[in-house]
Amino acid sequence: MLETLHQLITRANALENTPKAFGTDTLLHRAEIHTIQAIGLRPGQNLQQLADRMAVTKGAASQMVTKLVRKGLVKKDKGEDNRKEVLLNLTEQGWTGFHRHEAFHAYLHQVLLDHYGEALEQKMAELRGCLQELLSVTDLYEEKVKDF
């Protein structure tokens, strides 16, 4: 079982660390496309709102937004009521990436649906339960290894 889990983690890490263009002119890492997704789902939000929604610090969100602005995917607009407030929006390239990323998720869902059919929801619930158990065991393991 541990070997299978190790293989899964290795493959997941490889997939996660492989950037994709998502129809844009630049390769995007997972954190970048998910920042684009978060902005696209709520255009016009400020930096603090983005940080809160992504569960990261304002500084981390700021660094990511700066990187995406340089790549031409995000733009910073001034608020109409408060000219000091910076509102985040996607550029045309950013929207392309957003829509391709949404299509990518829909494709992944369809692959699972094709494989599991009507049992998909049940399988997902079972998997969620197994993963929660593994996380609990990992918590116990981390606590025990401190003594070694």
N residues, the chain: 148
Q: Confirm whether 127 is domain-assigned.
A: no
Is the confidence at residue 83, as pLDDT, over 80?
Answer: no
Query: What residues have CB less than 8 Å from 123, skipping those under 6 apart?
Result: 116
Q: Shortest CA distance to 100 belongs to which of 33, 17, 32?
A: 33
Checking 52-61 for CB contacts under 8 A at 24+ apart, the result is 61/35
Q: Confirm whether 71 is domain-assigned.
A: yes
Query: What confidence tens digit (pLDDT) does each residue in 13-60 have?
Result: 998 899 999 999 999 999 999 999 999 999 999 999 999 999 999 999
Average pLDDT score over the chain: 94
CATH of the domain at 63: 1.10.10.10
Is the confidence at residue 80, as pLDDT, over 90?
Answer: no
Q: Shortest CA distance to 88 belongs to which of 134, 145, 48, 121?
A: 48
pTM given for the model: 0.80
Q: Confirm whether 114 is domain-assigned.
A: no
Identify the residue whose tokens are 């930096």: 47
CA distance 58 to 52: 8
Domain extent at residue 32: 2-109
